[in-house]
Amino acid sequence: MATLYETHIPVADLSVSSAFYRDVVGLVPAFAQRERGVEFLYVGRREHGMVGLWAPGTSYGWKSEEKPKSHFAISVTLAELLASIPRLQRLGIKTTGFDGATATEPSVIGWMPSAQIYFNDPDGHILEFICLLPDQPEPAFFGSWSNWQKQKRI
């Protein structure tokens, strides 16, 4: 196996979610069948991956009043991750760390190690921009980017 290529999520409003994933997340429109209630967007280039958005009542859309939430992560460079936080906040989107608390910097999970930021789409799905770090793993570390940087300088 190489990589995960696609994921599909249910959305309440295909037009609203399509605009969010295009304009906020930066995905590239690939194919839409509005009459079927589905739209596909590339994560970067066609070869990198794809997200499918499904309207209520469709094959992968919500079928009832219960609307479970999903989570997925998009791999980005460290520069993209750091730039995404103020950009998302300027757009009025709350960014959080892995603990769910509001964050203005990435959180770091030491066992991977990775830096990431989380935010919600219009339906409450949790998105994550994640960057794997070239540092040695520190399994006990769960904290902020600034604390990770301080620890690495010691």
Residue 154, pLDDT above cutoff 80: no
Residues 11-49 pLDDT 10s: 999 999 999 999 999 999 999 998 999 999 999 989 999
Tell me the average pLDDT across 92-111.
Answer: 97
CA trace torsion 66, 75, 119, 116 (10° rounding): 130
Domains of the chain listed by start with CATH number: 1-65 (3.10.180.10), 69-154 (3.10.180.10)
- Residues 6 or more apart whose CB falls under 8 angstroms from that of 19 comprise none
The DSSP symbol for 35 reads G
- DSSP structure class, residue 36: G
Rounded Cα distance between 129 and 116, Å, is: 6
Higher pLDDT, 121 or 60: 121
First vs last C-alpha separation in the chain: 38
CA pseudo-torsion sign 119, 89, 129, 26: positive
Q: What is the pTM of this model?
A: 0.92
Find the mean pLDDT for residues 88-92: 97
Q: What is the DSSP string of 106-137?
A: -EEETTTTEEEEEEE-TT-PEEEEEEE-SSPP
> How high does pLDDT run on average in the chain?
94
Q: What is the largest CA-CA distance in the chain?
A: 58
